[in-house]
């Protein structure tokens, strides 16, 4: 979630699911992650803030 809330990469207006997944692997937060897992995680986190 912290990565998604950080400024988007240079040249991008916002984070995409693909960019987030790639960044999580780059930062060695996970070894591998699908874009669908990113989507589900963000959706679950967003719905818990209501």
DSSP states along 1-50? -HHHHSPPPTT-SS--HHHHHHHHHHTTS-S---HHHHHHHHHHHHHTT-
Mean pLDDT of 2-22: 94
Q: What angle do CA 41, 43, 48 make, to 5 degrees?
A: 95
Ordered by start, the domain boundaries in the chain are 2-47
Is residue 7's pLDDT more than 90? yes
User: pLDDT tier at 50 (50, 70, 90 boundaries)?
Assistant: low
Confidence (pLDDT) at 36: 94
Distance between CA 11 and CA 28 in Å, rounded?
A: 23
pTM metric for this prediction: 0.80
Percent with pLDDT over 70 in the chain: 92
């Amino acid at each position: 979630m912290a990565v998604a809330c950080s400024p988007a990469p240079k040249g991008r207006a916002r984070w995409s699911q693909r960019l987030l997944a790639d960044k999580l692997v780059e930062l060695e937060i996970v070894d591998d992650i699908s874009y669908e897992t990113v989507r589900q995680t963000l959706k679950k986190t967003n719905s818990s803030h209501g």
